[in-house]
Amino acid sequence: MNTMIRTPFHIILLGLLAGCAMPSDQGFGPVARDVKARSGHDVAWLRDGESRQLADDLTASLLAETLTAETATRIALLNNRDLQATFAQVGIATADAVRAATPRNPVLDAAMKLPTEGGGVNLDFGVAFEFVDLLFLPARGRAAAAEAEATRLRVTGEVLALAARARNAFVAVQAATRDAALAGEALTVAGAEADVAKILHDAGNITGERLARAGERLARARLAASKAEGGRIAARERLNVVMGVREDSWRLDDAIPDPPADDGLADLERRALDSSLDVAATRQDLVALGERNGLARRAIADGGIGAVAERNEGSWEVGPSIAVPLPLFDLGGARSARARALVRQAEDRHAAAQIRVLSAARTARADLERARTDAAASRDEALPAGRDALRQATLNYNAMQTGIFDLLDARAASLETGRRHVAALAAYWTARANAELLAQGGTADAPSSVVSEAAGDR
């Protein structure tokens, strides 16, 4: 092993090292800025106890208020621990990129030889750099930087996906809460019908078959109310998980707004493709593999250059040294073939990502238009018709033209129409959140974690 002495090359090396410092934000700043630009949301990586405590205090203050879709999203982006764990991948990828762009440490070699028959001690010293590593340092740094950028893009996509999940989970709680309330009213109506049927049957005014039918409807209503209440509890817990909160003591306004006149999502396919983080990440994968493909084709796999100093019989001998592997067995063909295959694989994945985004955008557009149509039909046709039917049934009952069972049937039908309207509104706002996610560049099936391999095969 050999040592580099202080030469102009040493000054060049110091310049290289100066550009290899780890950024203070560990590469998270671009993620936060990109999330803000795409969605308007603020996001923070909580890396110490003080910032964690501040986040806990803010979360508690937000939960003390009536929860809205916006505050639920803020809490999720601030407090979701899975997302915080994902942010660590940005730091890992940035550290790997810095490491890949940093020259390998020189290796010190020292030996002491003790004579067996008298004489002085012989000392050998050497330090060597792998000069091939230095030659390919810029390309390796570019590859690692592209890999780190791909990780940052994917993490940004996860942030946007979590925001959409938070909004969808909040709407699901709203819908489940309203549905449970309506199912409870339907149970009350069914109970009233069963009570009336029993009184009339005992008086001999209705048959046993009519009494049994009322009992059956009560049992079905009881099961439906139980299922709706279970759905309400499950929806709240899903939102708790998304928000990353331990207590289920928050309250919300369960009124789901009607769709706006304009959803602001025109030309969704183009916007989704232009802003897609998945497409951009696969493009960075391709850039990184292109750089690594060049590294894999290098003629010399490794080599060291430096200087050696040896003291023999009291005098020093100093001179240069070089170590170059002999390409007798591994000629690099396998490495080159593997690199080319990886590049072809990345090209196909990049093309596949574009196809997925376009298909998802078309599907999201169709879902949104269908949900808007269904919500409008429910609001403008089904609900008014149900109210009219109940009003007419009430008038007929008061005029003694129909019986109590007809009135209760109309009330039960009106409640069922209301439950369907709630489901239609929830479907619209869910489709809206998914379409907005695509327009911002995210994907609904973002991975739950991002694994960085920015250091390559170092």
Query: Looking at residue 167, which CATH number applies to its domain?
Result: 1.20.1600.10
The two structure tokens encoding residue 437: 């996610």
For range 343-359, the mean pLDDT: 92
Whether pLDDT at 454 is above 60? no
Cα 196 to Cα 185: distance, rounded to the nearest angstrom: 17
pLDDT at 131: 61
The percent of residues above 70 in pLDDT, for the chain, comes to 78
Q: What is the CA radius of gyration of the chain?
A: 35
Q: Which pair of structure tokens corresponds to residue 267?
A: 């030309």
Q: List the single range of 227-241, 260-274, 307-321 with lowest mean pLDDT.
A: 307-321
Q: What three-state secondary structure class fits 122?
A: strand
- Whether 450 maps to a domain, the answer reads no
Residue 63: which of 52, 53, 74 has the closest Cα? 74
Listed in sequence order, the residues at least 6 apart from 329 whose beta carbon sits closer than 8 Å to its beta carbon are none
> What would the DSSP string read from start to end of 379-421?
IIIIHHHHHHHHHHHHHHHHTTSS-HHHHHHHHHHHHHHHHHH
Per-residue pLDDT at 234 exceeds 90: yes
Within the chain, how many helices (H) and strands (E) appear? 13, 4
Indicate whether 12 pLDDT > 70.
Answer: no
**SS3 call for 330:** coil
Q: Identity (one letter) of the amino acid at 292?
A: R
Q: What pLDDT, on a 0 to 100 scale, did the predictor assign at position 455? A: 37
Cα separation, 231 vs 76, in Å, equals: 21
Which range (59-68, 134-143, 403-412) has the least confidence?
134-143
Output 235-240 pairs: Cβ under 8 A, ≥24 positions apart.
235/169, 235/172, 235/173, 235/175, 235/176, 235/177, 236/173, 236/176, 238/169, 238/172, 238/173, 239/72, 239/166, 239/169, 239/170, 239/172, 239/173
Structural domain includes residue 149: yes
Burial of 367 (0-12, 13-18, 19+ CB in 10 A): middle
pLDDT at residue 452 is higher than 70: no
Number of domains the chain is built from: 1
Crossing angle of helices 137-202 and 404-440, rounded to 10°: 180
Residue 113 DSSP one-character state: E
439 burial type by CB count under 10 A (0-12 exposed, 13-18 middle, 19+ buried): buried
Q: How many CA atoms lie within 13 A of 13 on its CB side?
A: 17
Average pLDDT of the segment spanning 353-377 = 95
Facing residues of 125 across strands? 110, 309
pLDDT exceeds cutoff 70 at 326? no
Supply the pTM of this predicted model.
0.82
394 has a pLDDT exceeding 80: yes
The DSSP-derived string for 285-323 is HHHHHHHHHHHHT-S-S--EEEEEEEEETTEEEEEEEEE
Give the residue, 321 or 439, on which the prediction is more confident.
Answer: 439
Give the C-alpha separation, 409 to 390, whole Å.
9
Burial of 116 (0-12, 13-18, 19+ CB in 10 A): exposed
Q: What percent of the chain has pLDDT over 90?
A: 60
Q: Domain range spanning residue 342?
A: 8-440
> Residue 456 domain-assigned?
no
